[in-house]
Chains A and B, each alone.
Chain A
Amino acid sequence: MIVTFPHMGNVYVLVKTLFDEMGVEYIIPPKCNKRTLELGTKYAPEMACLPLKINIGNFIESIEQGADTIIITGGCGPCRFGYYAEMHKEILAGLGYNVEIITLEVNEKGIPELLCRLKRMIGGRSVSSLALPMYKAMRIQTAADKLEELSFRIRPREIRKGSTDAIMQKYFDTVKTVYGAKAIAHLIEETRNLLLSTEIDKDYAPIKIGIVGEIYTLIEPFTNLDIEKMLGNMGVEVNRSLYISHWIKEHIILGGLHMRKKQPFEREAEPYLKTAIGGHAQETLGNTVLYAKQHYDGAIQIYPLTCMPEIVAGSIMPSVTKDYDIPVLTLVMDEITGEAGYITRIDAFVDMLRRRRQIKEANNELVLSGH
């Protein structure tokens, strides 16, 4: 049994740690690329959302390298993601691939079924043997996410342009080649130190932009034009509202134990969207409000074309923009995304935020100097 899984940003760090520790044989799909998307677009339904299409591409590219089992997480609605696995099965079977798909979810058959599936994933060993590796993997994912977060703060301030990119690129290239939790943790720590020792302009006060929207397109750089890097290199500090480690902690661990507490974003979203509607619609609206309250200069909402929850959030967003005076740029991603047009828009958005900041500062000075 050789397992594989879909890409979603840096989630392979978590999966790799887990499988390394468990001694499960696995294949990390090739980094999402044009061919991945081409394969997905060719075989997935035309109006399916972008993540499903890219998943299909990931699977085919892994199968070509010898994978025979696919691990994915699932769900039970209302977002389409909950039915992904069934679509994957249909499409892959239709193409003649003989692969097993193991969906990790608590469905109508309850927890015992999930345990059964976990057991199958680790080749029949007892599920309890997963506990420690899972714990380690979670810790490493948290560290990996924090590392990316740090890079978003360093990049706009770096003195020598490209130094953050170089450090991160080396990390991404290396992390796939080291083995086991200890080595990965070490690499992350090493990279962190490199970032911290990067020469930065401490007095520079960059424009700050919060990134909100649908989690997959937020996390997977292939689907968002590597927006954090792009903005960082334009001298903008970025804060991303969703991370894999955070999602797992909230939805799988605390959610599973029914210990999830109401989050600040939910309180802020409620006046605009009263209940959770699936996906990350409340996160999108609530986090935008939070960014505004933290004096961010603007926010960018990203989601895949036809994404149901984000369409709702997008339709309500103008009210948030108006109430909190925070500019929001919306980027809807699909397979025919013309990169140039998006770059122009992002560029103009940053220009606009800079100009707004200047005027605001000028006004403040006027007030302070008593005019």
Chain B
Amino acid sequence: MNSCYLGIDVGSVSTNFVLLDDNGIVLKKLYLRTQGEPIRILKEGLTEIRDFIGDRYSIAASGTTGSGRQLASLIVGADIVKNEITAHAVAALAVRPDTRTILEIGGQDSKIIIIRDGMVYDFAMNTVCAAGTGSFLDRQAARLNIPIEKFGGYALKSSNPVRIAGRCAVFAESDMIHKQQTGQCLEDIINGLCEALVRNYLNNLAKGKAIESPILFQGGVAANVGIVSAFERELKEKIIVPENYDVMGAVGAAILAREETEKKGYTIFHGFDIIKSKYEAVSFQCSHCSNCCEVVELLADSQVVARWGDRCGRWSNAKEQKRAAG
């Protein structure tokens, strides 16, 4: 049976699964909506992965990344838990070892990663402002009644993009409505939105950073040809969209997991039986001090597996401790 490596990227919008083979080729990728239910989606993804590999492959390593990386690692038994910046960089370097810049725009956040000599040299990440993220485009597409997949195509048809003011989603939206009311054509408005997003992204994240080629564009938004073209116009450089642009975080997690298990010689992957277990994340407010931390407790078949969310460590350091004892 051949070995394969599992990478999982649990984001707030999507949860992505990737299986890599020994040669680093993507055997299978899954892109599932998280829908605020990471545990259910994790199990769903794992079921699909299990059915896919059958008895052809065995999982030799697993790694998690994304904002839900802790939770996911506890459930699947991850050999490595990595932040998504490192994961994206590792995945990009596997595609293009000479990568110098990574643009990444996901559903809820965006990043720029500067790579020099094959390592992360500088990076920036934006989590507060929505105007530079995929959910902003989703929302505007819905408002304009255009499927998001066609959004980019519309932008390419525009010859004279409208200037949409705003590095803030709220303002950009009201400005767009204003432009719509003044009767500007849809293609120009959409192209204007693409340009606004690119401008916001560069102003927020890229200031003072040297964006040099090769430039890889990753994350779900890279599917949008309008945005790709706006980046190329603004940067006057070619933008490369890698084949697995939408699951690069998971690819990176899988690569890192493989490196880790090769170092230590075994995997702690829990296997697929966990799908049958009943997982439950419950939260409670700790009342020990006035910080009133929201502590999350992960239960597997009613047994406490882990706790996190406390600032002082009284809960996370005492896994076996019963809640009542606090």
Contacts and interface: CB of A to CB of B under 8 A. Distances in A.
A and B touch in the complex (CB under 8 A): yes
A106 to B, nearest CB: 35
Interface of B: 67, 82-86, 109, 117, 119-123, 125, 127-128, 208, 289-292, 311-313, 317
Chain A interface secondary structure, helix, strand, loop or mixed? helix
B120 A338 contact: no
Contact of A169 (B119, B120, B312): B312
Chain B interface secondary structure, helix, strand, loop or mixed? loop
Contact of B85 (A36, A169, A327, A345): A345
B311 A226 contact: yes
A162 B313 contact: yes
Nearest to A319: B208
A169 B317 CA distance: 13
- 9 smallest A-B Cβ distances: which pairs? A341-B127, A348-B85, A33-B290, A347-B83, A318-B208, A352-B120, A348-B83, A351-B86, A344-B83
A30 B109 contact: no
Nearest to B312: A169
A127 interface: no
A348 B120 contact: yes
Nearest to B209: A318
A340 B289 contact: no
Nearest to B292: A34
Contacts of B125: 341, 344-345, 348
A165 B318 CA distance: 13
A359 interface: yes
B212 to A, nearest CB: 15
Given A162-B313, A341-B127, A355 B290 contact: no
A182 interface: no
A35 B82 CA distance: 32
A351 B208 contact: no
A318 B114 CA distance: 14
B19 to A, nearest CB: 24
Interface string A332-371: 0000101011001101110110011001000000000000
Given A31-B289, A348-B120, 5 more contacts: A33-B289, A165-B313, A345-B85, A349-B123, A351-B86
17 contacts: A30-B290, A33-B289, A33-B292, A318-B208, A327-B121, A336-B128, A338-B128, A340-B67, A341-B125, A341-B127, A341-B128, A345-B83, A345-B125, A348-B83, A351-B82, A351-B86, A352-B120
Interface in A60-116: none
A338 B129 CA distance: 11
Given A318-B208, A348-B85, A351-B120, A338 B127 contact: yes
Contacts of B312: 169
B291 A34 contact: yes
Nearest to A233: B313
A336 B127 CA distance: 11
B119 A352 contact: yes
Contacts of B67: 340, 344
Nearest to B68: A340
Nearest to B113: A348
Nearest to B65: A344
B111 to A, nearest CB: 9
Contacts of A327: 121-122
Contacts of A347: 83, 85-86
A356 B119 CA distance: 7
Contacts of B85: 344-345, 347-348, 351
A195 B307 CA distance: 27
A44 to B, nearest CB: 19
A331 to B, nearest CB: 11
Nearest to B81: A347
A141 to B, nearest CB: 24
Interface in A264-322: 318
Interface string A152-196: 000000000010010001000000000000000000000000000
A234 to B, nearest CB: 11
Contacts of B120: 348, 351-352, 355
A31 B293 CA distance: 13
Contacts of B128: 336, 338, 341
A344 B83 CA distance: 6
Interface in A187-230: 226
A341 B109 CA distance: 9
A62 to B, nearest CB: 13
A30 B289 CA distance: 9
Interface string A22-34: 0000000011011
